[in-house]
Each structure stands twice: as structure tokens, then as C-alpha cells.
Structure 1
Amino acid sequence: MSAEPSERSDLPAMAGTPATPPASHQRRKAERPSELLDAALQLFVEKGFAATKTEDIARLAGVSKGTLYLYYTSKEDLLREVISQRVSTRIAEGLAQAAAHQGSATELMRTLLVDWWMQTLESDASGVFKLVVSEVRNFPEIAELWFNEVSQPGSQLIGGMVQRGIDSGEFRPVDVLSVVYSIVMPLVMLCVHRHSLGACECPGMSLEPQAFIRAHIDLVLRGISTHPEP
């Protein structure tokens, strides 16, 4: 499969002309995988995974279909990279941040969870949650990928903070997994809402996300705390 003309030239370099392409061209090539992922995610969310064609993704990214295959082998490969780059890597960053935290579990959860979910909601990563919720039934491989790349490490991150609070006496001896689900489920639906009802200009459909996230995390923390703050 041949590359785009703009990506390779078979003409010999003229005398006195640098053999290497301009720096701007190199930057363009370096940015192309990310541009393809942006286009793929946008179309996956808007049209659904099944209805999206690779040529649609290439067209939106401004490249040929052949160029797309230079970077990603299939539509499934694009989906794997979307989940990995937009969600999985950020969970790994959260795990590192939690491991380095020296304060209380309550303080850690108030800051890390609010910041993490706000950043996720405000980025295109929020669309990944809507994509998985709407498509997973018809594509079991998405469910397996999501479990391995997101659900397990995400539960490890939040569950570890809850267990940390139990061990320190900050939290009651609650069922950790139940608390994880209690925290995550409403926030996942907040992401889905952004790309469904929240995208409609209908009265009563809007909400203030940061206020909701803070209130939600506060509600859970008060429920499991041994000494709730007044």
C-alpha cells in the first residue's frame, strides 16, 4: 500500500537542497495519529461504531484511506487506541497521583475525583463513555476491552482510596466495590448526558457539571465517613 504523495517523494533532492523535509511537515506527520483518533472518536459518538466507515474517518481527518492504514490497521484498532489514549492513560495518572498523596483519604478523594471527572467531562474523552454504553451490547469485544483497560484499573484507583480511608479509620467498614459503583455510575451518566439530552437545547436539560460532581462526591463521603463534617 502506497503512502500519500505528500508523505513521500521519489524525486532526488536538488543540489544544495536539504534532504530532510521541513520541520512543519515533520510536525504534521507526528500529529496525524492524534488527528485520526480525534476524527474516529467524533464519528463513533455521532454515528455509532457500526455505522462509521474508515473512509469517513479518513475524510474527516483530511487524509486518504490508505494513509489511515499506515497508522491503524482497522476500525477496531482505532477504537482500542481511542480508549487507551483518552481514558486508560488518565486512570494511570490518577493511580500515580493517589500513590504519591500524603494527606487523608477524604482530601484525596475530594480533589482527585472532582478534578479527574471534570477534566474528563470537558474533554472529548466523555464521548467514550457514551460510545461504550450505546454499543457494548452489539460488540462484546468492546466490553472485554473496556473491562481490562478501564473498569479494572478504575475500580483499583477508587477502591484503593476507599480502602485507605477504612484502614485509617476515616471511613466505616463498608463494601468497597459497592462504594466504587455508587461513585462511578452517576458520573458515567453525566458524561452520557452531555452527548445525548445535554446536547439538545431543551429547557431543564442543562445542569452545572462541577457543582453536581462536587455535591455527588460530598454526598458519598458523608455517607461512609465515621465522623461526617458539619
Structure 2
Amino acid sequence: MPTTPSSNPAEPQAKRARRKEARPGELLAAALDLFVEKGFAATRVEEVAQRAGVSKGTLFLYFHSKEELFKAVVRQSLSARFFEWSAEVDDFTGSSADLLRHGMLSWWERVGNTQASGMTKLMLTEAHNFPEMAAFYQTEVAQPYQALVRRILQRGIDSGEFAPMDPEMAIYSVTAPLIFLAMWKHSMGNHPCAPAALDPQEYLASQLHILLNGLRVRPPQTRLPPL
């Protein structure tokens, strides 16, 4: 027997409700793509709305300005992750070297190898033109990230695994390889002439080897007795 369309008036309303609930996520995904592709200054809200398949008026129902849209993208794609990462540091039972290795490699898997890492390039290139946005990014992303790395380094120092150092300066040694990968992915990494030999996992493993050999405490050298 052929089926007839449902006459339940609640079904179209339910579909519209589901569509309405999906719109903020679709707008944020479209905004992230465009911010990474074009930069903050060059991205227009009309483009974001068009890519998300809605009108500009609909976009402004959820986000009152491009600045608010940018902040929402940062919160969803980056700063919302810090609670999870902090819990991982709390619960980690291995060595501090293994924790640092886990942190850097998982950063690549969860952020670096995704579109969200393009926000690093965006901030490095446009922060001087948008100081308010730079301050927001510093509070929402840079400072929580630095706090996590500081905890890992201090953990290793306190346990005697890492040599005494200034954690505030060592944070930059941990951060530099990650920034390089983010910049590489969203510039030369997408270029036909990019060196194919650069494997991100191997690169991070090499950087970790250099970094950890510099951080670890070395046993005192034993001197041979005189003849």
C-alpha cells in the first residue's frame, strides 16, 4: 500500500526547530573556515552567512557583530578544550617527559591538524591591527595554554626529573615547534612546492628529543682515578 505524507502538523515545526538549533554551529564552522582562509579583516559577515546557507539577518540573531562571531569561534574551537586538557594533566600518572610528549603530540592530533590551528596564524598576522581581539585571544587561549605548559614543566622540576630552569622562558621552547607547525600547515603546507619530507609527527618527535635532552637532569660525570 502506498504511503501518504504525514499530516502531523508537529513534524514541520520539529524540523524547523532542529534546523534552528543547528544554525549557530553551522555559522561558527563557516566563520572558522573564512577567518582561516581570508583573515579577520577581509572576512565579511555576508560571506559567513552565505556559506552557512542563511541570511545575514539570521546571523545577527545569534551574533551581534563580526567581533562577537570571532570570539564565539575561539571559544568553541580552542578555549573550550582547556578544561579537558587540565583534567588530563591532573590525572596523568606517568613521567613528566611522557606528559610533555603526550601534550605536544595530542595538540597536533586535536588542534594542529585541524582548521582551528589556522587561528594561530591569524592572530600572529593581524593582532597588531585588532588589539581588542588580541587581548581576548591572550586571555582565552594563550594564558590558559601557558598555564598548562608551566604546570608540566614545574611537575618535572619538583620531581627532580627536569633540571632547575625558569619555566616562564622554557614555555616558549615548548611552544615554538607548535607555532611553526600551525604556520606551516596554513601556508607552505598547502602549497604545491611545500617540502613533502616534513612529517608533522616525525618533526614533533625530533623536537621532543632535543627538548627533553636539554631539560633532563644529567648524572654527574664520574672521573677515572689517576694512574
Gaps of 5+ in 1: 1-15
**Structure-1 separation of matches of 2:179 and 2:83:** 18
Unaligned runs of 5+ in 2: 1-6, 220-227
> How big is the shift at 1:203?
5.0
- Counterpart of 1:196 (choices 187, 190, 200) is 187
Equivalent pairs, count: 213
CA distance, structure 2, for counterparts of residue 125 and residue 134 of structure 1? 15
* TM-score after normalising by structure 1: 0.86
Q: Which residue of 2 aligns with 1:130?
A: 121
The answer to whether the 8 Å contact 2:177/2:204 transfers is no
1:222 aligns with 2:209: no
The CA distance in 1 between the partners of 2:84 and 2:210, in whole Å, is: 25
User: Residue 205 of structure 1: CA displacement?
Assistant: 6.2
Summarize the alignment of residues 41-52 of structure 1 with structure 2, pairs less than 5 Å apart: 41-52=32-43
CA offsets, 1:45-74, max 9 Å, x none? 222211111111100111000110111111
The CA deviation at 1:120 is 0.9
The residue correspondences of 1:48-59 to structure 2 (distance < 5 A) are 48-59=39-50
Q: Deviation digits for residues 119-161 of structure 1, max 9, x if unmatched?
A: 2122111111111111101000121011101111101101100
Aligned residue in 1 for 2:4 = none
The Cα of 1:24 is off from its aligned counterpart by 4.6
- Deviation, 1:23, is 4.8
When the two structures are superposed, what TM-score results if normalisation uses the length of structure 2? 0.87
Matched to 2:159, the amino acid is S
Give the C-alpha shift of residue 163 in structure 1. 0.1
Pick the aligned partner of 1:140 from 131, 148, 172: 131
Q: Distance in 1 between matches of 2:105 and 2:57?
A: 41
Structure 1 residue 28 corresponds to structure 2 residue 15 = no
Tell me how far 1:112 sits from its aligned partner. Answer: 2.3
What is the identity percentage for the equivalent residue pairs of Structure 1 and Structure 2?
45
Q: For the residues of structure 2 that align with 1:146 and 1:162, how far apart are their CA atoms? A: 23
Give the 5 Å matches for 1:63-78. 63-78=54-69
Alpha-carbon offset, residue 214 of structure 1: 1.9
